[in-house]
Amino acid sequence: MFAGRDVRSDFPTLHQLVGGRPLVYLDNAATTHKPQVVIDALTRYYEKDNSNVHRGLHALSMRATDGYEAARARAAVFINASSPSEIIFTRGTTESVNLVAQSWGQANLKRGNVILLTEMEHHSNLVPWQVVAERTGAVVKYVPVVGDNAEHGLDLDRLDALLTPEVKLFAFTHVSNTLGVINPAAELCRRARAVGALTLIDAAQSIGHESLDVQALGCDFLVYSGHKMVGPTGIGVLYGRRALLDAMPPWQTGGGMISVVEFSGSRWKPAPERFEAGTPNVADAIALHVAMDYLDTLGRPEIALHDHALAEAAYGALAELPGVRLLGPKGKRAGLVSFALKDAHAHDVVTFADQDGIALRGGHHCNQPLMKKLGLPSSVRASFYVYNTPEEIDRLLASLRKIVAFFGRG
């Protein structure tokens, strides 16, 4: 799939025994493992370049600054932003959404305005909007999730009725982290734009799995986390259209983001510095640069094919299990599958699978309102990435068959 490359050998954490069996890591929607080149980039930075950025005039500081700004330029190319100044480094998706909610949201929303979300949003693209709605008097509305099990998806027929002139922002996830639904992001942006609403795409579950082009998508904001795309934890991106960022007030203030400070008041730098107060996460930005290069060496279209094929195979195999309820579409889906077993709680499934060396995730997946709507307290999720193999799906199925037999005894 990846031009004969032995991808697994790039990832040191994969080569360990869990429960006496070789690890099968199927929790990639939560976080992915890191290739040795990314780990090396972090070590190299701390061994050779460690220094504060931007205002340093010595050699190490200049190297650190160059590395940090090169990472920003690489991130712009990675998503086809029109300029590096449209890339703000944050701690991740959650912080990026909070930045937009607190900066743009508090400055622009008022009573009667609507923030449109979908019922499949992760809590991190839902709670910040509830909070800003409460503070500004705006209202949060949701595009419903319709269909049952294999048909789950957004009710796109309702979208035009929901996209009233009161909608100032439509914020939606590209890929559902529970259902595996891939939303038609470009179409959603186009329909929102037609009524004058801004758009924010939560790309946490798509950025590491396919090529994204913010200009082709036509979005105003796009947010993601480095750790879900073979990069380190603690680093992520907010993409924003230049004109919007320049008009937004800072959300955190202090060093690094000011142009002038006087006892009587201060003035701000333009984006991106305006939104990066304090010492930034230099090391992780530099390692994220290497992660982006790594993904492009494998080829993002190839990654998409690989992950989707594994998820479709897993979906088909899981459907054979007695008492299984699969969530999300049967056909084209992202690289993850969620399911519930009639007789076994999700946490028990995850604990039993762990004894077979298989890492799954069980719970509400930060989708509490969606799970409630589906009538499930929790589900089990298997999520795939570049290093997973069809043989690992066989291991998963063998383990689940044992679990079904154990809990089904009645």
Task: Cite the active site residues.
Answer: 366
Stretch that binds ligand PLP, among 18-26, 201-209, 274-282, 387-395 (CB under 6 A): 201-209
Q: Which of residues 234-273 bind ligand PLP (CB under 6 A)?
A: none
Q: Binder to ligand PLP among 53, 100, 132, 204 (CB under 6 A)?
A: 204
- Smallest separation, CB 320 to ligand PLP (Å): 27
Is residue 180 part of the contact set for ligand PLP (CB under 6 A)? no
Alpha carbons within 13 angstroms on the beta-carbon side of residue 61 total 8
- Smallest separation, CB 227 to ligand PLP (Å): 6
Beta strands at 114-118 and 87-90: parallel, antiparallel or unpaired? unpaired
Q: Binder to ligand PLP among 205, 281, 378, 383 (CB under 6 A)?
A: 205
Is residue 94 part of the contact set for ligand PLP (CB under 6 A)? yes
Per-residue binding string, ligand PLP, 115-154, x by CB under 6 A, is -------x-xx-----------------------------
∠ Cα 232 124 27 (to 5°): 50
Is residue 173 part of the contact set for ligand PLP (CB under 6 A)? yes
- Smallest separation, CB 176 to ligand PLP (Å): 7
Cβ proximity to ligand PLP: between 94 and 379 the closer is 94
Closest to 78 measured CA to CA, from 285, 308, 340? 285
Cβ proximity to ligand PLP: between 25 and 352 the closer is 25
- Smallest separation, CB 57 to ligand PLP (Å): 35
The CA-atom distances, in angstroms, between 133 and each of 179, 187, 258, 301 are 27, 26, 29, 38
Total residues in contact with ligand PLP, by rule CB under 6 A:
14
Per-residue binding string, ligand PLP, 74-93, x by CB under 6 A, is ------------------xx
Q: Name 265's bridge partners.
A: 262
Helix axes 127-136, 93-100, angle to 10 degrees: 20
**Strands annotated E in 129-197:** 139-143, 145-146, 153-154, 167-173
- Smallest separation, CB 27 to ligand PLP (Å): 10
- Smallest separation, CB 108 to ligand PLP (Å): 22
DSSP string, 238-289: EEE-HHHHHHSPPSS-STTSEEEEETTEEEE--TTGGG--SS--HHHHHHHH
Cα–Cα distance, 80 to 213 (Å, whole number): 5
Is residue 225 part of the contact set for ligand PLP (CB under 6 A)? yes
**Strands annotated E in 17-104:** 17-18, 21-22, 24-25, 87-90
Stretch that binds ligand PLP, among 62-70, 75-83, 197-205, 283-291 (CB under 6 A): 197-205
Cα–Cα distance, 394 to 396 (Å, whole number): 5
Q: Tell me phi and psi for residue 335, to 5 degrees.
A: -80, 50
Interface positions with ligand PLP (CB under 6 A): 29-30, 92-94, 122, 124-125, 173, 177, 202, 204-205, 225
